[in-house]
Amino acid sequence: SLTLVASGTQIGRTASQDEQRVIYAAGPVRDFYLAASEHYERVSQQLGETIVNSYAPPQHAAGAREALVHALEALEVFGERFGPYPFTELDLVSTSTSAYGIEYPGIIALAERLYGPNSEYPPAYLESTVAHEVSHQWFYSVVGNDQQSEPWLDEALAQYSTLVYYDELYGQAGADGFRSSLL
C-alpha cells in the first residue's frame, strides 16, 4: 500500500500480497533517496522532456500544487541560465524533515510544515525553498561540489540561484525582497 518516491525513474515493479520490489534507474548520480507513505497523492506536469511530480498527503494537496508550480518556474529559469535540467524526472515530496528542504539527485524532500493554509510559515518560504532546492540539481548534482566538506560553496550557489529566480520572476523588487529576507 506504500507509494514510493525515489531518485531516478521507476523501470520495474512486482508486487505480491505483502511485498513489492521496485527497480529505479538513475545516472549519473551520487546519492539515492527514497520516501514512502501510504498517504501520498501525486500531481504532475510535463516540462519539455522532464516530468515533474509533487507528492503530499491529501490535506496538503494545495501545497503540493504550489510546490509543483514553483518547481516548474525554477526549472525554466535555471534551464535558461545554467543549461538543461540533468534528469528526465524531478520529484518533490512532502516529508517530516527538520530542514526546510534537502536535495538529492532528481528528488527534493520538502518540510511538510511549509505546506498548507495552517502553516506557521508564510507562503514565500515554500516558494524560496523549492527554488533553492531545485537549483541544487545543478549546483550539487551537475557541478559535483562537496556539500559536506564545503557547504559554503554549495549553499552560496543555491542562494545566488534563488536570488536569480526571484529577479527573473518578480524583477528587482522580488530580488530585493529575497535579499532582505536573508539579512
Nearest in space to 54 (alpha carbons), one of 169, 62, 74, 32: 62
* CA dihedral sign of residues 178, 179, 180, 183: positive
142 vs 151: CA distance, rounded Å: 16
41 vs 30: CA distance, rounded Å: 27
pTM above 0.75, yes or no: yes
pLDDT given for residue 160 in this prediction? 94
33 vs 63: CA distance, rounded Å: 21
* CA dihedral sign of residues 25, 146, 77, 173: positive
Number of Cβ within a 10 Å radius of residue 173: 10
13 vs 8: CA distance, rounded Å: 14
pLDDT given for residue 118 in this prediction? 80
pLDDT given for residue 161 in this prediction? 95
Mean pLDDT, consecutive 10-residue stretches, the chain (183 aa), reads 92 90 91 95 97 97 97 98 94 96 95 89 94 93 79 89 97 94 87
